[in-house]
Structure 1
Amino acid sequence: MPAFFPVKERVQESNMCFSNLVQQDAPTTKNKSMLIAKVSDDFHSPILPGLPDDVSKHCLALVPRSHFPAMGAVCKRWRSFIKSKDFIIVRKLAGVLEEWLYVLTVDAEGNGSHWDVLDCLGHKHHELPPMPGPAKAGFGVVVLHGKLLVIAGYLVVDGTGSVSTDLYQYDSCLNSWSKLASMNVGRYNFACAEVNGLIYAAGGCGADGESLSCAEVYDPESDKWTVIESLKRPRWGCFACGVEGKLYVMGGRSSFTIGNSRSVDVYSPERHTWCQMKNGCVMVTAHALLGKKLCCMEWKNERKLAIFNPEDNSWKMVPVPVTGSSSIGFRFGILDGKLLLFSLQEDPAYHTLLYDPNAAPGSEWQTSEIKPSGLCLCTVTIKA
């Protein structure tokens, strides 16, 4: 997404925010002993009476995804299994993973942001419950093991702005939020991505609006952030993707006053070091990982889709078949191995563009009926 200045205006998409979570009542004291006893019974009872747990897990994994929240309320053992990484693995082995698109939308006036959940046919399933904590902007979004992670960001409370270190996780199977370990450094407008089951965050803007070069990595197994080697120079308004076991950071600006950065920073987790490439994109307004290739759109040229192939570090330019204003603007979504282009303009007549890289030459572009309920701010695809 593009970034602007001064400092407070460098918070990208200031309407990308959430409402406060409605707090639920805690159990009364007289019910606590009964609750503890019930939890203990849940942990020691079989998942399904009369069946080995391995068979029971396979049975639960075959249930359609829309029923997971109800299943999680049955007992502690079911809930523990459904929220585990193993649950996604069993469903993948059984070939029953369902792919849903999560779209953060806002109305035409820039108010009322919420997440829509769409299936591959564009049918809306539900809205996500509000995320805990104050409304934020400039945060990072990553998907890991069927869960949505919302990282850091810029927030304003009682007229005072601050930078967050918070990490929140949305469990797509149980339809619930939880708070995880805080980052070492608060930041917004930064790059983040998943690589080999770990979450990396690099660059961005700090508490005083300064450009950052520091980076860190989150391990979900230990629920801990660890500082890693910094970028070669400060970088903000950038984005990242993980391909073939490496982290690619590109786009954005290298400092507050100096122009755009075209170089690409590549981090190798095996070597724990950064290296640089010289042929990146600048001022990227939309990006998405399509298979093992990165699709980008630059602010200066929204009539062409730039596709990066990390195998040979090459770019391919694909014309976008749009008519009308050259500044129409798009956000990207991924479903079923295809790229969706959602318009940033309120136009009831607009049909979502669909790019299929595997289609026959000349047939790569089509239209789709999949459409968010409001203006699209960002999307993630979750298989579970």
Structure 2
Amino acid sequence: MSKPDRFNHPPLVDTKCFCRADGGGGLKTSNPCLKPNVKPSIHPIGRVEKTRNQPTLIPFLPDDLAIACLIRVNRIHHCKLRLVCKRWNRLLSSNYFYSLRKNSRLTEEWLYVMKRDHKQGKTTFHSFDPVHHMWQTLPPVPKEYNTAIGFGSAVLSGCHLYLFGGKDPVKGSMRRVVYYSVKTNKWHRAPDMLRRRQFFVSCVINNCLYVAGGKNEGATTNPPSRSAEVYDPTKNRWSFILDMDVGMVPVSSIVYRGEWILKGIVSGSYRPESNRWFSVSGGLVSGWRNPCGTLNGKIYALDCKDGCRIRVYDEKDDSWSKRIESQMHMGNSEAFEARVVIELNGKLCIVRNNMSISMVDVSKCNDMDEGIIVDEHLWETITGKGQFKTLMTNIFSSLAGRNRVKNHVLHCQVLQA
């Protein structure tokens, strides 16, 4: 009987499919598998071509198995992986690497915050890992947005953070659009808007960016704008939509059941499928507080300055009769003022000026009756690494009567990678 040939075993992975490289059940995707060659990104990162003399990604491992290992590395370590070699950097910056993580349900949601230091007058950009409770400083925002005011932000395709419009202290109102890519960790240019505008509102519906209202050219004599426009990233261009009935500088806006609702002097809503504006009134508008957000088809608004009490909109009764309250309030100092309410990992995330974060598990309150729910187990206040000292400084400053806020949160979004 001949000895078994150890070199004739079946391959560990199918070179035509990376989904079978996981020994613990495999990666389940509904889309056809991609070819081993790294696809070129839309960003200027260069083309990855395989040559005979090119070394493997990981010594003694085929590239398909190496990629199957790399996509499982937590995001917190991606910045270190990029430093290993140029080929790893190109791989992690490619659409291909991102699509593999997304199709394998390995993407992680991080919080991205822009804050302005009132002492230096500069805008800084940070990311927060909710799993490891770690803050990271990111590449600075483009210089035109370093001191700009009244600009908007939105996320498209889950991994691109857009900044648009606003007022430059020297040039006035802007049409400029830039975006930050999680894949490349860099800022890029995008097509300018069709109108200059500042202090407007925006939203994302079906991965298209909508903007409306605001002021034009920065002149105080000009009436508020009635114009509205939409950006389609697949076509990479802006186009006008139907003008609003009344020009206004909206206070806030949300997307609720596929409809864009704006609150201002005159409130209204926009439906993309019909390209029409409608008037809005009733309990939704009268009880609306800012900031607010949506999660699992419900609208939540903060009911106090520090964001430790939440109001819930009841569509059946057209009222805000439900409330979720924490037993620990932080005070009325501007440092503790809640600036953003956003969804993060299936929970309601509240971000304050001092960069403290509260996570509220509102899923346990979906069947609540009218009234107030007081449950400290629903709330989790997070102070990331490097922020505890700032939090304690703000507490002692508040006790001493020095309530001037040093940092002001401008925008906060959630990106996946």
Query: TM-score when scaled to structure 1?
Result: 0.70
Matches within 5 A, 1:38-53: 39=46, 42-43=48-49
Alpha-carbon distance, 1:169 to partner: 0.7
Quick check: 1:69–1:173 contact (8 Å CA) kept in 2? no
Residues 324 and 83 of structure 1, relative CA distance in 2, 3 Å threshold = same
Residues 326 and 304 of structure 1, relative CA distance in 2, 3 Å threshold = farther
Any gaps of 5 or more consecutive residues in structure 2? Answer: 1-44, 366-372, 391-406
Alpha-carbon distance, 1:324 to partner: 4.2
Question: Residue 35 of structure 1 corresponds to which residue in structure 2?
Answer: none
Question: Residue 359 of structure 1 corresponds to which residue in structure 2?
Answer: 364
Is 1:379 the counterpart of 2:388? The answer is no
Alpha-carbon distance, 1:203 to partner: 1.0
Question: Residue 148 of structure 1 corresponds to which residue in structure 2?
Answer: 161
Residues 101 and 203 of structure 1, relative CA distance in 2, 3 Å threshold = same
Alpha-carbon distance, 1:266 to partner: 2.4
Secondary structure, aligned partner of 1:183: coil
Any gaps of 5 or more consecutive residues in structure 1? Answer: 1-37, 254-259
Query: Normalized per residue, which structure has more strand?
Result: 1
**Mapped partners of 2:314, 2:93: distance in 1:** 36
**Mapped partners of 1:233, 1:81: distance in 2:** 47
1:242 to 252, 255, 259: 255
Quick check: 2:226–2:247 contact (8 Å CA) kept in 1? yes
Residues 192 and 93 of structure 1, relative CA distance in 2, 3 Å threshold = same
Secondary structure, aligned partner of 1:165: coil
Question: Residue 169 of structure 1 corresponds to which residue in structure 2?
Answer: 179
Residues 323 and 68 of structure 1, relative CA distance in 2, 3 Å threshold = closer
Alpha-carbon distance, 1:228 to partner: 0.6
Matches within 5 A, 1:14-163: 39=46, 42-43=48-49, 61-68=71-78, 79=90, 82-84=93-95, 87-107=97-117, 109=119, 111-121=121-131, 123-134=133-144, 135=146, 136-145=148-157, 146-157=159-170, 161-163=171-173
Residues 310 and 301 of structure 1, relative CA distance in 2, 3 Å threshold = farther
**Mapped partners of 2:331, 2:75: distance in 1:** 40
Secondary structure, aligned partner of 2:192: coil
Question: Residue 224 of structure 1 corresponds to which residue in structure 2?
Answer: 237
Is 1:268 the counterpart of 2:271? The answer is yes
Letter in 2 for 1:148: L
Quick check: 1:202–1:213 contact (8 Å CA) kept in 2? yes
Letter in 2 for 1:292: G
Quick check: 1:286–1:298 contact (8 Å CA) kept in 2? no
Alpha-carbon distance, 1:71 to partner: 6.1
Residues 189 and 362 of structure 1, relative CA distance in 2, 3 Å threshold = same
**Mapped partners of 1:383, 1:233: distance in 2:** 37
Deviation per CA, 1:318-344: give whole Å up to 9, x if none.
254436449863122543222233444
Question: Residue 32 of structure 1 corresponds to which residue in structure 2?
Answer: none
Quick check: 1:193–1:247 contact (8 Å CA) kept in 2? no
Residues 225 and 299 of structure 1, relative CA distance in 2, 3 Å threshold = farther
Quick check: 1:266–1:276 contact (8 Å CA) kept in 2? yes
Question: Residue 340 of structure 1 corresponds to which residue in structure 2?
Answer: 349
User: What count of residue pairs does the alignment treat as equivalent?
Assistant: 327
Letter in 2 for 1:102: Y
Letter in 2 for 1:220: P
2:190 to 180, 185, 196: 180
**Mapped partners of 2:73, 2:131: distance in 1:** 20
Deviation per CA, 1:77-126: give whole Å up to 9, x if none.
97488453x65443233121111111222346473431221111463342
**Mapped partners of 2:177, 2:92: distance in 1:** 22
**Mapped partners of 1:143, 1:104: distance in 2:** 14
Which deviates more from structure 2 when the two are superposed, residues 225-234 or residues 104-113?
Answer: 104-113
Secondary structure, aligned partner of 1:354: strand
Query: TM-score when scaled to structure 2?
Result: 0.65
Residues 130 and 326 of structure 1, relative CA distance in 2, 3 Å threshold = closer
Quick check: 1:302–1:326 contact (8 Å CA) kept in 2? no
Question: Residue 330 of structure 1 corresponds to which residue in structure 2?
Answer: 338
Secondary structure, aligned partner of 2:175: strand
**Mapped partners of 2:279, 2:211: distance in 1:** 17
Quick check: 1:68–1:174 contact (8 Å CA) kept in 2? no
Residues 109 and 314 of structure 1, relative CA distance in 2, 3 Å threshold = same
Secondary structure, aligned partner of 2:364: coil
Letter in 2 for 1:381: V
Alpha-carbon distance, 1:230 to partner: 1.2
**Mapped partners of 1:331, 1:97: distance in 2:** 26
Residues 180 and 358 of structure 1, relative CA distance in 2, 3 Å threshold = same
Which deviates more from structure 2 when the two are superposed, residues 75-84 or residues 272-281?
Answer: 75-84
Letter in 2 for 1:213: R
**Mapped partners of 2:87, 2:190: distance in 1:** 20
Letter in 1 for 2:161: L
Secondary structure, aligned partner of 2:166: strand
> Percent sequence identity over matched residues?
22
Letter in 2 for 1:382: L
Secondary structure, aligned partner of 2:130: coil
Which deviates more from structure 2 when the two are superposed, residues 311-320 or residues 288-297?
Answer: 311-320
